[in-house]
Structure 1
Amino acid sequence: GGAVVAAPVVLGAVGFTSAGIAAGSYAAGMMSTAAVANGGGVAAGSAVAVLQSAGMAGLSGAATAAVGSLGGAAAGLLAVIF
């Protein structure tokens, strides 16, 4: 549950905001790297494009389920380790 709640906060903190990618942020660096790798553009469906979409519009039902599942798996792994 915490992963689902934290996802929008984390996206904003790294620069994927509702107003677009924040200048000078980690997200801006990711976008620059993706653009250089793709000849000047960011490919649709790439990690940068998906994260920006989630940062602008929020998470879809499927994305919320995926984040919740990954968060639960990570918490379970940490519980086993510690």
Structure 2
Amino acid sequence: MVLLTIGLAVAGGVVSTLGVPAALGALGFTSAGIAAGSAAAAWMSSYGGAVASGSLLAVCQSIGAAGLGAAGTAIGAAAGVISSILFL
């Protein structure tokens, strides 16, 4: 049981750290900006051209463009580990 818990915790950390940027990329948040014709572009068009700084769309684009960064990676890994243990 302990090995299962450790394995799930590690898996949760890895999935959350690598999965978030990959999922955002698949939605159209890229390092070059929001991809035309993507789900991200449709979401952005719903804002009418005025995306507020700090909004969820802006945060997703920031992660898509630059990655999670050190703090985001640490928080994502910790969240993955905690959620894996809590939902065991």
TM-score (norm 2): 0.70
Structure 1 residue 13 and structure 2 residue 22: aligned?
Answer: no
1 or 2 for the larger relative contact order (CA 8 Å, sep ≥6)?
Answer: 2
Opposite residue 18 of structure 1, the aligned amino acid is S
TM-score (norm 1): 0.74
Counterparts in 2 of 1:16 and 1:76: CA distance versus 1, 3 Å? same
> What 5-or-longer segments of structure 1 have no aligned partner?
none
Counterparts in 2 of 1:32 and 1:75: CA distance versus 1, 3 Å? farther
Report Cα offsets for 1:1-52 as digits up to 9, x if no partner. Answer: 321122221111111111111122221222223x14xxx3000111111110
Q: Number of paired residues?
A: 75
Give the CA RMSD over aligned residues: 1.7
- d(CA) in 2 for partners of 1:69, 1:31: 30
Counterparts in 2 of 1:30 and 1:73: CA distance versus 1, 3 Å? farther
Structure 1 residue 54, shift from structure 2 partner: 1.1
